[in-house]
Chain A
Amino acid sequence: MTGKNRLLDVRGLTVEIETRRGPAVIVDGIDLHVDKGETLGVVGESGCGKSLTMLSLMRLLPNKIRVAKGEAHFDGRDLQKMSNRELRKVRGGDIGFVFQDPVTSLNPVMRIGDQLAEPLIYHRGMNRKQARERAIELLRLVGIPGPEERIQAYPHELSGGMRQRVMIAIGLACEPKLLIADEPTTALDVTIQAQIVDLVKGLREKLGMSVVWITHDLALIAGLVDRVVVLYAGTVVEDAPVDALYASPRHPYTRGLLASIPKLSDAPASRLNSIGGTPPEPGRRPQGCPFAPRCPLAMDICRTHVPKLEPVSAAGSHRAACFAVEKALEAA
């Protein structure tokens, strides 16, 4: 399980939110890891803790939400124990972040060239002129035409797709070892989504970095990621190489997610598939498996005990947390 190749290693990460009734667990003891050069997809419904997990790694959690326990080793160092000064060097320097909404994640009163230059000046010690040249280079890299003029533009002068490219360029500015992309395509048109996915794919190979791609869209990342971690209610329910996950999903939740993707072969008038119910609210988690109330295969044990993440394939690379794995196979 451990290797020299491991870039990010998160163990038992637990995040809590303060409520009037006391702390409520949002992320419950997550284990996940990213190897060097690997692309990890983190999938789950809205509110299952995907974004919070990534923000908590960088200690960027909003007020009232905090990491209760757990470790997050990045390149051998625990991010949770670093001093603020060390952490600032990692943020933007070793770990680049691309946020969900390119409209609100860029500073509206700053030219995009200056926003690109900021991390270069801070982390790479460049002067304004060098940073400017590098900014032009970066904009060209992410496929923005006319970068020499574009660096003078303000965010509101660019389209959504262009802004997301700028966000990616900012995330990549210091050539990080890890790029965390938090649903970078949700705010974009389908055609632009594909462009962004291709762009990141190309850049990853060019720069040899690892990528964590957070999304709720299993179909979108099929061709992009190496491995997928499925989150439900703040726990990892399945962790598998991407092909294995699509070919034989083991957890009923993953099956539900995959079944929810509309296919062209579906009968035209058929209803869209969905998973009934909603994820549990923080503070109201069921006693056993968090998915049990919505699970078509739930057994008695599911309502009393929490299943552990266990290997379900011979190689051990495919793991699922479900008592009904065998039943799921039969049902398939």
Chain B
Amino acid sequence: MSTVQAQPAPLVEEAPVSLWRDAWYRLKRNRLAIFGLGVIILLAFVALFGPYLTPYDFLSQDLEARNQAPSLAHLFGTDDLGRDVFSRVVYGTRTAFVVAVVVTAIALVIGTVLGAVAGFFGNPFDRVIMWLTDVTMSVPNLLLVVVINASLKTPIAQWMEARYLETLNPFYRETVWIDFLLVFGSMALISWPPYARLVRAQVLSIRSRPYITAAQALGLSNRIILMRYVIPNALGPLIVAVSAGLGTAMVLESAFSFLGVGVNPPTPSWGNMISDGLRVWQHYPHLLAAPAAVLGLASVAFSFLGDGLNDALNPRGSK
């Protein structure tokens, strides 16, 4: 019986640094990314606590004070109905964030699951899922949203009306959430393919790495290997994609609302505010400038953060 003695080998004696903390150090050194992160945190705060921050209700009209230029009383002025533009932009932030977060979350879950299954289990799943992805991507997204709006909105509204008359339940009187539901649904439906493709590509490359074979040699089930070995290793690029995706979803929501197929008035959205402002911008430029500037800022912030995350999480990819 020989005993097994500890044979000390050289070790780096320092507190364990996790991969995520490492990435955070790199991110912190990127000023643009931190600027982006700051703006996003500020906007998220505004989105969460907006109603407590604004001096006016976003719907309250003051017909005595219409189309006023920015002043201390109304930071961004007032619109053609005398509503406080600042309050409306703040509420629009909430709309933008809710739509962006919910849509990205739905798209992410659908995309990750489908992509992981396609990549990990291979054919025939791969073929079917990739076919589905291609079909989805081939549909012009604006057209799809218009079609969904045109075909579903009226029947749902009518059904709600009928239910209200039948039950007199005030729940059926509230139609704002139909907008949201349609916007969420239609946008999620067109937003998942990029995530599915990204995750599939990641999984395909990870699947052939030795640590996956090692995990199989340990007798772990496919589900555990997928959840704890494959997906966490695919997370880096996915986080970057999500950051970019949130920005895109915000812009998309504004674009749809601008065209009148997204969130409809009186619910404020940056998009429909820009649309309103565009008609009178020669006389009241602040009505266009305020929502447009905030939309631009948000979009740029997500871009910067996405870039910074990309560099931080893929240190080998950047120089």
A203 to B1, CA, bound (A): 10
Beyond A62-B208, A143-B5, A143-B6, whether A119 also contacts B16 by CB under 8 A is no
Nearest opposing residue in chain B for A194, CB measure: B7
Nearest opposing residue in chain A for B17, CB measure: A157
Residue from B6, B12, B16, B210 in contact with A152 in the complex, judged by beta carbons closer than 8 Å? B16
Nearest opposing residue in chain A for B216, CB measure: A60
| B215: A residues at CB distance < 8 A | 107, 118
Q: Are A110 and B16 in contact (CB under 8 A)?
A: no
- The total of chain A residues at the interface (CB under 8 A) is 55
| B208: A residues at CB distance < 8 A | 62
A63 to B121, CA, bound (A): 12
Q: Are B2 and A202 in contact (CB under 8 A)?
A: yes
Nearest opposing residue in chain A for B20, CB measure: A109
Q: Are A108 and B11 in contact (CB under 8 A)?
A: no
A182 to chain B, nearest CB (A): 10
B220 interface contact, C-beta 8 A: yes
Q: Are B211 and A118 in contact (CB under 8 A)?
A: no
Beyond A60-B217, A143-B7, A162-B9, whether A107 also contacts B211 by CB under 8 A is yes
Q: Are B9 and A104 in contact (CB under 8 A)?
A: no
Q: Are B218 and A118 in contact (CB under 8 A)?
A: yes
A77 interface contact, C-beta 8 A: no
| A140: B residues at CB distance < 8 A | 6
Q: Are B233 and A107 in contact (CB under 8 A)?
A: yes
Q: Are A104 and B219 in contact (CB under 8 A)?
A: no
B198-213 vs A, CB cutoff 8 Å, 1 = contact: the mask equals 0000000000111101
Q: Are B1 and A205 in contact (CB under 8 A)?
A: yes
Q: Are A97 and B19 in contact (CB under 8 A)?
A: no
Beyond A60-B217, A62-B208, A92-B217, whether A109 also contacts B233 by CB under 8 A is yes
Chain B residues touching A, majority SS: loop
Which one of B171-179, B224-232, B263-271 contacts A? B224-232
Nearest opposing residue in chain B for A200, CB measure: B4
Beyond A119-B219, A159-B11, whether A110 also contacts B5 by CB under 8 A is no
Q: Are B16 and A153 in contact (CB under 8 A)?
A: yes
A144 interface contact, C-beta 8 A: yes
Residue from B16, B214, B221 in contact with A154 in the complex, judged by beta carbons closer than 8 Å? B16
B8 interface contact, C-beta 8 A: yes
Q: Are B218 and A144 in contact (CB under 8 A)?
A: no
A127 to chain B, nearest CB (A): 16
Which one of A8-16, A23-31, A83-91, A247-255 contacts B? A83-91
Q: Are A104 and B217 in contact (CB under 8 A)?
A: no
| A126: B residues at CB distance < 8 A | none
CB<8 Å pairs between A and B, sample of 27 = A60-B213, A63-B122, A88-B219, A91-B217, A92-B220, A97-B214, A104-B209, A105-B210, A105-B214, A106-B214, A107-B211, A107-B215, A107-B228, A111-B16, A118-B218, A122-B218, A122-B219, A140-B6, A143-B8, A145-B6, A152-B16, A153-B16, A161-B9, A162-B9, A199-B4, A201-B2, A206-B4
> Apart from A89-B219, A99-B213, what 15 extra A-B contacts exist at CB < 8 Å?
A91-B217, A92-B220, A97-B214, A104-B209, A107-B229, A107-B233, A109-B233, A118-B215, A118-B218, A122-B221, A146-B11, A149-B16, A159-B10, A195-B9, A206-B3
A-B pairs with the 6 shortest C-beta distances?
Answer: A91-B219, A92-B218, A92-B219, A97-B217, A202-B4, A88-B219
